[in-house]
Amino acid sequence: MKNIKQYRLIILFCLCFLAVANVNAQSDWPVPAKENENMSPFLFDDDMVLEGRISYENSCTSCHGTPGQDDFTPMAPPPGDPASDQFQLQTDGALFHKIKMGRGSMPKFEDAFADDELWNIVAYIRSFNKDYKQPLPNMEGVEIPEYSMKLSFDDNIDKLVVKVFAKNQPQPEVSIAAYVMGTFGKYLLGKSQTNELGIAYIDVDPTMPGDEEGKLSVMVKASKGFGRAKMNEEMVMVEPTIRKSAIEGRHIWSTDKMAPVWLKVSFFITVFGVWFVLLFIVIGLRNINKANKEEA
Amino acid sequence: MNQANKNDKSRRKFLQKLGVAGASAVAGSALLLQGCSDSNKSSGNKVKVLTADNKLVEVDVAHLKPGDKIQDLSYLQERGREGIPGKKFVMVVDLAKCKNARKCMKACQSAHQLKPEMHHLNVLEMEDPVRDTSYWMPKTCQHCDNPPCVSVCPVDATFKRQDGIVLIDNERCIGCRFCVAACPYSARTFNWTEPKNSEEFAEVTYDMELNVPQKKGTVTKCAFSADRVREGKLPYCVSACPNGVYYFGDQNEDLVTNGTTKKTVRLSALLDNNAAYTLMPELGTKPSVYYLPPRESKG
């Protein structure tokens, strides 16, 4: 009897310990204070949540599962469910920082997503929390500039030239990120800042294959504080490449559609020629046979 | 008389042709207009679609018409044979990252109506008896640029497309299994029994890019998820992997995208920097699947 009580106590103690240890394991990912207080410059609206959902389903579902379903992949440490308190009790800045920087088996998404895309994901995670009130930075007296960009390519130095304007004035110290849009994702060409003339230069690798005209599809993002702009353009920047079909030319595995006419014709002539000769011999033998019988 | 008759005939023929051409032009433009009709109701839900000239465009879901074409077998057959112009799909498998999560296999089997014992993609344990270690190796169809399976098919059921993908048309397949014997990678499997949930798929139009519905008595194999790739999405296995094992992309662009992190890198750099290899290169099959050795690698 006493034994059973002791066992129960031990088991209870173990369970408590495990629970506490688990919570501890979750919370021992330190976030720098500055990052922790970081706030989204955007109001989390339905559009952001939708964009975030697409990104989440592409890049996060494989480990974290669907938020609210507790169907994350069993790993050590467990990735956890973003709809759970363990996530929702953290600040926006902390979530943003952890997605961006990653740790251990949590990948680092700094190169895959731009900051605004990361905020989309945070907005999506927050959409599962009914009690969530978004803290917004103090915007009094802040004027959000409307940026516009002009892109050009300098083929002497193989650099993409980005000019940033606001109200026709060149804008210094604007962060620029340029990407090449691939079939399945965007390839980071480089990041830069505009100089006092509002111009930023980004290196382009001249060995990158373009299309038949040497065009690359580029996407450039400009951001400074709350001001943001995005631009897509097809630009001639690299050598033209001829896109070959994988089944061009003749191979041992080609279908007969690829066979040249001379081959088809000579093949059939040979086959029918052989048959003709054989038939000729058979008929000749029959005639000899007949002649033999008539003589006899 | 004869001459007049002939003229009459040709005139009639010409008018007939004109009628057909006119009707088809009207129908075509009507369809086009319908397709372009910009209904003001947009759901805000965007999907990426590949246009006929191979551009990826984002279209609002509300503007998409349920295409009758997708139900049309002859259209699907033609599309499946044709492939996507200007592309050459490749896969890179980073063996250092594979932890045998088997999420890729699950995603693949549920997409392609496969029973648990049938694999388009199998994660194998590769043992090194000398060092007494082992590593995990996902193995799919290699989509060879010199495919032995295609050479031996007597009915042109398995074929290579212009984008490098090797597919099977189970409408043509006679189940002789020559290709199974020819494949050095054991990538092909045979439907010995009725496929999984065959009643559910009885009414579904056959799409060779997805190879569903599966048919008893035909061969099946990995298709690089040609149906997803057409939509500009990564293959089922690639996007299901939690460990960042798979990169997939277009060799002509020299860009491959990791399915887990969505990070896009230069293919040539990835292969050169990590001493990539292909399986059984001595056979001269020129696989489109590259492996990065099972060590910590920079990807």
> What residues contact residue A138 under an 8 Å CB cut-off, 6+ apart?
none
Distance from CA of B238 to the nearest CA of A (A): 10
Question: How many CB atoms are closer than 10 A to CB A61?
Answer: 18
Residues in A whose CB is inside 8 Å of some CB of B read 46-47, 50, 55, 58-59, 62-63, 73, 75, 105, 107-109, 111-113, 180, 182-188, 205, 208-209, 211, 241, 243-248, 251-253, 255
Q: Supply the angle between the helices A115-126 and A92-101 in degrees, to the nearest 10.
A: 130
Chain centroid to CA B234: 10
Tell me whether residues A243 and B264 touch, CB distance under 8 A. no
- Per DSSP, the three-state class of B108 is helix
pLDDT at A104: 85
pLDDT at B246: 97
Could you read off the pLDDT of A242-271 as tens digits, one per residue?
A: 998 999 888 888 887 778 899 999 999 999
Beta carbons of B265 and B255 less than 8 angstroms apart: yes
Instruction: Say how far apart CA A222 and CA A227 lie, in whole Å.
Output: 8
Beta carbons of B241 and A62 less than 8 angstroms apart: yes
Instruction: Say how far apart CA B211 and CA B234 lie, in whole Å.
Output: 17
Tell me whether residues A184 and B254 touch, CB distance under 8 A. no
Instruction: Say how far apart CA B152 and CA B175 lie, in whole Å.
Output: 13
Instruction: Say how far apart CA A146 and CA A228 lie, in whole Å.
Output: 7
Could you read off the pLDDT of B95-139 as tens digits, one per residue?
A: 999 999 999 999 999 999 999 999 999 999 999 888 888 999 999
Any idea what DSSP says for residue B277?
B
Tell me whether residues A108 and B242 touch, CB distance under 8 A. no
Q: Identify the band that residue B37 occupies on the pLDDT scale cut at 50, 70 and 90.
A: very low
How many CB contacts within 8 angstroms connect chain A with chain B?
Answer: 108
Question: How many CB atoms are closer than 10 A to CB B137?
Answer: 17
**What pTM value is reported for the model?**
0.73
Contacts of A245 in chain B (CB under 8 A): 85, 162
Distances (CA, A) of B244 to A110, A115, A197, B93, B238: 15, 21, 42, 9, 8
Instruction: Say how far apart CA A203 and CA A211 lie, in whole Å.
Output: 19
Query: What average pLDDT does range B151-157 have in this prediction?
Result: 94
Closest CA to B108 of B7, B228, B194, B198: B228
* H helix intervals, chain A: 2-27, 33-36, 46-59, 61-64, 85-88, 92-101, 115-126, 261-295
Could you read off the pLDDT of B187-209 as tens digits, one per residue?
A: 999 999 999 999 999 889 999 99
Any idea what DSSP says for residue A106?
B
